[in-house]
Amino acid sequence: MKYALITGAAGGLGQVFVNTLWEAGWFVFASDIANAPDKANCLSLFMDITNPSSILQAKETIQTYTDHLDLIVNNAGMQCLTSLVEADIAVLSKIVDVNLKGMMLVNRTFFDMLYKAKGRIIILSSEIGYHQAEPFHGLYSITKHAVDSYADSLRRELNCIGLKVVKLQPGGFKTNIVDESLKTYDEFLETTQLYKKSLKRLRPFIVFNLNKAKPASYIAKTFSKAVVAKNPKNCYRVNNLFVLKLLDLFGQRGTDLIFKLFLGKNN
């Protein structure tokens, strides 16, 4: 039997990953700070990836079931809609801890178990990780670009010792994060002192993105390829927005001008 650890397992995509592996006969350690699904050959674990002690405690539990891991899926993450000049610095610290530092802590802590099985790491990035940064998604974009760099560097290191690292760069899916987008937007609109006019113009774009979101189950086929392919791609992209690809064609200055015209002036 093969063993997998999944972080963020209680979320929409996390549940899809758990079910996909479980149905394929894997034993899944489903970790989260919320309740993950419980079933035979699927152990729900509390694990706060920002807390080294919590990660070690989860490892001790896992080691009572197996001495190795064939797969680690780094899925835990959070989004943030705010201004880089208005956001509390604590918000930056939290999103970096969850989206980047926590992932690194998990992979380092469980690496000995993964190495024993010559296993594989799958890292959830985002379409935001390789497209140009969007205004008001700066904190999220910073972490996802960093995640992409981390994944690329880790892949090149582990290639030398026979382990594979695969990135997934999904677009929008109908998950809790997406469902809360408008709520986060409304909170930002209420608190900002600088960008109320621009945010009002941004709302239709957010709604457009939400309408393009696919059911979480849509990612299962791509995820399975990333898991089982003998020679997987470095990166798998699924349901990425065409409009973001289009913006990249305009380059930095062109994209600056488009956002300036679209969002307008606030003074």
Which domains does the chain possess? 3-175+215-242 (3.40.50.720)
Q: Quick one: pLDDT at residue 267?
A: 72
Kindly report, residue by residue over 228-247, the tens digit of the pLDDT. 999 999 999 988 777 777 77
The Cα 224–Cα 22 span in angstroms is: 12
pTM of the model: 0.92
Kindly report, residue by residue over 183-194, the tens digit of the pLDDT. 888 889 899 999
Q: Determine contact, residues 58/46, Cβ cutoff 8 Å.
A: yes
The Cα 76–Cα 199 span in angstroms is: 28
The Cα 123–Cα 125 span in angstroms is: 6
| Rounded mean pLDDT, 131-153 | 92
Confidence of residue 30 (pLDDT cuts 50, 70, 90): very high
* Phi, psi (rounded to 5 degrees) for 76: -60, 140
36, pLDDT greater than 70: no
Q: Quick one: pLDDT at residue 38?
A: 65
Helix, strand, coil content of the chain in percent (nearest 5)? 55, 15, 30
Confidence of residue 177 (pLDDT cuts 50, 70, 90): low
102, pLDDT greater than 90: yes
Element at 147 (helix H, strand E): helix 138-158
47, pLDDT greater than 70: yes
